[in-house]
Chains A and B, each alone.
Chain A
Amino acid sequence: MNVLLVDDEDQLVSTLAERLELRGIHASWVTNGEDAILMVKAREFDVAVLDVKLPKIGGIELKRKLAAIRPNLKFLFMTGHGSQEDFDAGSREAGKDNYLVKPVRIEELIEHLLNLVQAEQKA
Chain B
Amino acid sequence: MQRLKPKFWDHQDVAAGPFKAMFNFRSIWLQSVLLTAAVALVPLLFLAVLDYQVSRKAVESEILNRTMRLVSNTRRSIAFFLEERKFALQFIGLDKSVADLTNPERLQHILYNLRAGLGFWSDIGVIDLSGNQLAHAGPFGIANVNYADQPWFRETLEKGSHISDVFLGFRNAPHLVIAVKHAKENEPAFILRASLDIERFNDLLSRLEVSGQGDAFIVNQEGVLQTPSRYYGNVLDRLPFAVPPFSDKTQAVEMLDHQHKDVVLGYAYISDTPFVLMVIKQKTELLSAWQRTRSRLMTFLGGSVLLILLVVFGVSTYLVNNLYLADRKRVMTLHQVEYANKLASIGRLAAGVAHEINNPLAIINEKAGLMKDLFLFRPEYGKDEKLLGVIDAIIASVDRCAAITRRLLNFARHVEVNIQQVRLRNIIDDVLGFQTKEAEHRSIAILVDIPEDIPNFVSDRGKLQQIFLNLINNAFAAMKEGGRLIIRARRLQDEPAIVVTVQDNGCGIPQADIRHIFEPFFTTKSREGGTGLGLSITYGLVQEIGGRISVESQVGKGTTFTIVLPLEYRKESGEHHERSAGG
Binding site for B on A (CB under 8 A): 9, 11-12, 15-16, 18-19, 22-23, 80-84, 87-88, 91, 96, 101-106
Closest residue of A by beta carbon distance from B579: A88
- In the complex, whether B361 has a CB less than 8 A from a CB of chain A is yes
Q: Answer whether residue B17 sits at the interface, using C-beta atoms and an 8 A cutoff.
A: no
B346-395 at interface with A (beta carbon < 8 Å) = 351, 354-355, 358-359, 361-367, 369-370, 373-374, 377
Whether the pair B370, A102 counts as a contact (CB closer than 8 A) is no
Identify the closest chain B residue to A8 (Cβ).
B359
Instruction: Return chain A residues, CB-CB under 8 Å to B126.
Output: none
Q: With an 8 A cutoff between CB atoms, is B418 at the interface?
A: yes
Determine how close the nearest CB of chain B comes to the CB of A78; give it in whole angstroms.
9
Q: Which residues of A are found within 8 Å of B351, using beta-carbon distances?
A: 81, 83
Chain A residues near B410 (CB-CB < 8 A):
82
Are the C-beta atoms of A103 and B416 separated by less than 8 Å?
Answer: no
> Are B355 and A80 in contact, CB atoms less than 8 angstroms apart?
yes
B406 engages A101 (CB within 8 Å): yes
A102 to B357, CA, bound (A): 11
> How many chain B residues touch the partner (CB < 8 A)?
27
Cβ–Cβ < 8 Å partners of A23 in chain B? 373, 377
The docked-state distance in angstroms from the alpha carbon of A80 to that of B361 is 10
B residues in contact with A12, CB < 8 Å? 359, 362-363, 366
Q: How far is the CB of A48 from chain B (nearest CB, A)?
A: 18
Task: Point out the residues of chain A lying under 8 angstroms from B363, CB to CB.
Answer: 9, 11-12, 15
Residues from chain B with Cβ under 8 Å of A104 in the complex:
362, 365
The distance in angstroms between the C-alpha atoms of A113 and B332, with both chains bound, is 53
Which residues of A lie under 8 Å from residue B141 when comparing CB positions?
none
B residues in contact with A102, CB < 8 Å: 358-359, 361-362
7 closest Cβ contacts across the A-B interface?
A103-B365, A15-B366, A82-B409, A103-B362, A80-B358, A102-B362, A22-B377
Are A81 and B366 neighbours in the complex by a CB distance under 8 Å? no
CB pair B362–A9 under 8 Å, yes or no, is yes
Residues of B within 8 A of A9 (CB): 359, 362-363
Any chain A CB within 8 A of the CB of B129? no
CA distance A12 to B366 in the complex (A): 6
Output the nearest chain B residue to A88 by Cβ-Cβ distance: B583
Report yes or no: B583 in contact with A103, Cβ–Cβ below 8 A. no
Max chain B Cβ within 10 angstroms of own Cβ: one of A9, A96, A101, A102: A102
Evaluate contact between B583 and A91: CB separation under 8 angstroms.
yes
The verdict on A103 contacting B361 (CB below 8 Å), with A15-B370, A19-B366, A88-B583 known, is yes
Can you name the residue of chain A whose Cβ is closest to the Cβ of B412?
A: A83
Contact residue among A15, A18, A80, A82 (Cβ-Cβ distance under 8 Å from B359): A80
B358 touching A103, Cβ below 8 Å:
yes
The answer to whether B373 touches A19 (Cβ under 8 A) is: yes
Report the separation of the CA atoms of residues A120 and B416 in the bound assembly, to the nearest whole angstrom.
38
Would A80 and B362 count as touching, CB distance under 8 A?
Answer: yes
In the bound assembly, the distance between CA atoms of A30 and B351 in angstroms comes to 27
Chain A: CB-nearest residue to B351: A83
Whether a CB of chain A sits under 8 angstroms from the CB of B294 is: no
Q: Is B398 in the interface zone, CB < 8 Å from A?
A: yes
B131 to chain A, nearest CB (A): 144
Most buried by B among A88, A91, A103: A103
- Taking a contact as CB atoms under 8 Å apart, the answer to whether B362 and A19 are in contact is no
Q: How far is the CA of A88 from the CA of B412 in the complex (A)?
A: 16
List 19 A-B residue pairs with CB atoms under 8 Å apart, sorted by A's residue number: A9-B359, A9-B362, A11-B363, A11-B366, A11-B367, A15-B366, A15-B367, A15-B369, A19-B366, A22-B370, A80-B358, A81-B355, A81-B409, A82-B354, A83-B413, A87-B583, A102-B361, A103-B398, A104-B362
Counting chain A CB atoms within 10 Å of each CB, which of B355, B362, B398 scores highest?
A: B362
Let me know if B402 is at the binding interface, CB within 8 A: yes
Closest chain-B Cβ to A107's Cβ sits at a distance in Å of 10
Contacts of B366 in A (CB 8 A): 11-12, 15-16, 19, 103
Chain A positions within 8 Å of B359 at CB level: 9, 12, 80, 102
Chain A proximity mask over B412-425: 1 for CB below 8 Å, otherwise 0: 11001010000000
